[in-house]
Amino acid sequence: AQSVTQPDIHITVSEGASLELRCNYSYGATPYLFWYVQSPGQGLQLLLKYFSGDTLVQGIKGFEAEFKRSQSSFNLRKPSVHWSDAAEYFCASGGGSTLGRLYFGRGTQLTVWP
Amino acid sequence: SQTIHQWPATLVQPVGSPLSLECTVEGTSNPNLYWYRQAAGRGLQLLFYSVGIGQISSEVPQNLSASRPQDRQFILSSKKLLLSDSGFYLCAWWGLGEAFFGQGTRLTVV
């Protein structure tokens, strides 16, 4: 079975600082990997995804993520955080027999200090 | 373009009352549809998914049920709500290599 772990429940950074959100997955094969962002009371918006190929993936809003098979990780990064990036971030994996069935981590709440 | 509609946005229901949440998708046909629940401080848990009309798969045993009466309609129901059913419910469809989510329904059972 697949699972996703986001070890950090809450992260606080200052505006302009760099950001890295951690994500580890458990799956026998190479999974599809996603990062979603959720603003309060809203649905989820896709930031970026990895299916295959280049292990460094660029997404929207200046985010990027790197797939590292040896570490079973897919960490999300941003070089300079903006106050509007404050939200909850979810890592998810998929790739099993049911297309679109995703396994989510519990999320990381990001707070940005001015 | 494809859009997903989910309603109502918020709902307060007494314990023991019935529930019906509706989700519809536009701009696509025969989508894979999903119901997720997000409890406070927790991630998203998949409740049900459907790959076609009348086809429902349940991920976890619970007080809820799902139905897919039409190709682009997915309904989440309960006959008698429990306090533990409170949470944020999200409908999603899979297409173009990603999952698209509705805006969610905040359900509070009192």
For position B104, which CATH number holds? Answer: 2.60.40.10
Residue B103: both structure tokens together: 């805006």
Which residue does chain B place closest to A48, by CA atoms? B98
Instruction: State how many domains chain A has.
Output: 1
Amino acid symbol at A14: S
**Which residues span the domain enclosing B8?**
3-109
Residue B98: its chain A contacts at CB < 8 A? 34, 46, 49
Lowest-pLDDT range, A84-98, B8-22, B76-90? A84-98
- Indicate the pLDDT class of residue A31, thresholds 50, 70 and 90: confident
Q: For residues A47, B5, B62 and A7, what is the CA-based torsion angle, rounded to 10 degrees? A: 10
Q: Give the total number of structural domains in chain B.
A: 1
User: CB distance A46–B99 less than 8 Å?
Assistant: yes
Touching check for A95 and chain B: CB below 8 Å? no
User: Would the pLDDT of B61 be above 80?
Assistant: no
Overall average pLDDT of the A72-84 stretch: 97
Q: What type of residue sits at position B83?
A: L
CATH no. for residue A53? 2.60.40.10
Contact B34 A101 (CB under 8 A): yes
Of A50, A112, A18, A41, residue with least CA distance to B107: A41
pLDDT at residue B62, as a whole number = 81
In this predicted model, what pLDDT tens digit does every residue of B67-88 receive, in sequence order? 999 999 999 999 999 999 999 9
Domain residues for the domain of A87 are 3-113
The sheet that has B19-26: what strands, in order across it? B3-7, B19-26, B73-78, B65-70
> Does pLDDT of A1 surpass 80?
no
Predicted confidence at residue B23, as pLDDT, reads: 96
Pairing of strands A3-5, A24-26: antiparallel
C-alpha B8/C-alpha B31 separation (Å) is 21
Q: What is the pLDDT averaged over residues B34-58?
A: 90
- Chain A interface test: which of B101, B105, B106, B108 (most A C-beta within 10 Å): B101
Residue of B nearest to A89 (CA): B43
